[in-house]
Amino acid sequence: MTFPGNRRTVALMTASQPIRKLVASDESQEARDKFMLDAVRTDPDTLQHMEDEQIIDLIRDTDAAISRMQAIQLRAIANLSVRRRRAPSAASEVALALSITEHRASAIVSAATALIARLPRMLNLMDDGQLDLYRAMKVTDATSWLSGDHVRVVDAKLEDKVPGRNATQVRRAATYEAAKVDPDGAAERTERKLVERRLALHHHDTGITHLSVNNTPTEKATAAYARIDRTARALKTSDEPRTLDQLRADVAMDLLLSGTGGPSERTEVFLHIDLDTYLGMNESPATLAGRGPVTAAVARRIISGSDTTLRRVLTDPRTGQAVELSPTRYQLDPAHGEFIRVRDQECRQPGCTRPAQNCGIDPTRTQGEAEGDSDQPVTYCSRHRKLKGEPGWDYEVTADSTVNVTTPAGLVHSTTPPSMLSGVRRTNRLRMKPRK
């Protein structure tokens, strides 16, 4: 099989065929990519009979095919954004359609708009299979602050510099060209970035979390690191088993939690764990609200902490859903906000994982009822409370507490209430709304 731009030939075979060379044809690159993909799908042994060089060629060519498809997808996303009059809710539709976070969807919508309107040469490179979405977004991020005239200059400068470079090299090249074409703007951008400084929390799947301070002044970050490093090195004695990296991480957390060495601040979080796991009779994962599953060992470690307060949450034995939260400070009824947050655990928008403690409670129309007649309290984060009121969006709650979200395109995304039962998790479903 011959690929355009070179005369390499890839040998294909089935289990009963010897290796043979396929004659190049005039069919399109897309058709040839599909032919190769079908060949590998129908006969996985095809890969086993290819030489190393041919495997590398296949990896490169499939990557090029992915880049071309991403370019088409970006045009579709930009078109949808235009149809929605560039409303922020367009990102919510994309997030639901692709099962990605809204933060990621917003970034892709912005990148799609920038590539089509401001960076056509970069989009052409994607069409040619020379630039994928990940690297293209390094360019859109690095040039987002440039004027239209300046970004066109950078677009032209990068056309020959981007192909064949990895994401870090692309970002550096784009950043350099942007600063070169508008040095004053680059300085202003640094000031704006300082205004956007924030603390970020990213949970992982193994009971650990990534904590970072973003956009902090370089001199302060350097000084803070030096203080942490100095303390960690002082603790690194001959009988200290922890590595320097481990010591730095522990020192940083101790400083954040206790500051000057005093007692740490007390913060309430919700840990959902079944009784058998709590007693050590099984190893079923527990759930930390807003973070997701944690191992039984991690859950028991949290519970055994000296400053941990336990509260009873009764669940329905059939569904595992919360039905009662034990009162500790006041009498609690099922409509109380604290119970609603414990019951929902997270924002009920499909795909959103913001902890319910950080959400508001919004009345949501009961299925089959008029707005306001029999509304049910449901937790939504601030973003999705606003989205709920956007034109074309409809929210309803069914008898079993399932939340149905209808998008402007008529797609219905449903999310079931979270369950405490092992193996029964909050689920999302997608269907088309029946036409009237």
pLDDT at 426: 58
Q: Which amino acid belongs to residue 50? A: M
In degrees rounded to 5, what are phi and psi of residue 193?
-60, -35
- How far is residue 110 CA from its own chain's centroid? 16
Using CA atoms, how far residue 154 sits from 138, 145, 245, 250, in Å, is 13, 12, 40, 43
The CA distance from 420 to 289, in Å, is: 11
pLDDT at 30: 66
Instruction: Please tell me the predicted confidence (pLDDT) of residue 158.
Output: 96
In the prediction, which pLDDT does 279 show?
66
The answer to whether 163 and 130 have CB atoms below 8 angstroms apart is: yes
Name the strand (E) or helix (H) holding 360: strand 360-364
> Which residues lie closer than 8 Å to 67 by C-beta, 6 or more apart?
126, 129, 130, 131, 132, 133
3-class DSSP state of 84: coil
Which of 99, 104, 92 lies closest to 428, judged by CA?
A: 99
pLDDT, position 315:
64
**Rounded to whole angstroms, how far apart are CA atoms 124 and 363?**
47
What residues contact residue 211 under an 8 Å CB cut-off, 6+ apart? 199, 200, 201, 202
Cα 175 to Cα 358: distance, rounded to the nearest angstrom: 36
pLDDT recorded at residue 6: 41
Per-residue pLDDT of the chain (436 residues; tens, 9 = 90+): 344 344 333 333 333 333 333 333 445 666 766 777 777 778 878 888 888 888 888 899 899 999 999 999 999 999 999 999 999 999 999 999 999 999 999 999 999 999 999 999 999 999 999 999 999 999 999 999 999 999 999 999 999 999 999 998 899 889 889 988 898 888 787 788 889 999 998 887 767 889 999 998 766 887 788 888 889 999 999 999 999 999 999 999 988 887 643 444 455 567 777 777 776 777 777 777 665 666 677 677 666 665 566 666 666 667 777 777 765 433 334 446 777 888 888 899 998 888 888 888 888 999 888 877 778 889 999 999 999 999 999 999 998 889 999 999 989 999 887 776 644 455 667 777 665 6
pLDDT for residue 48:
87
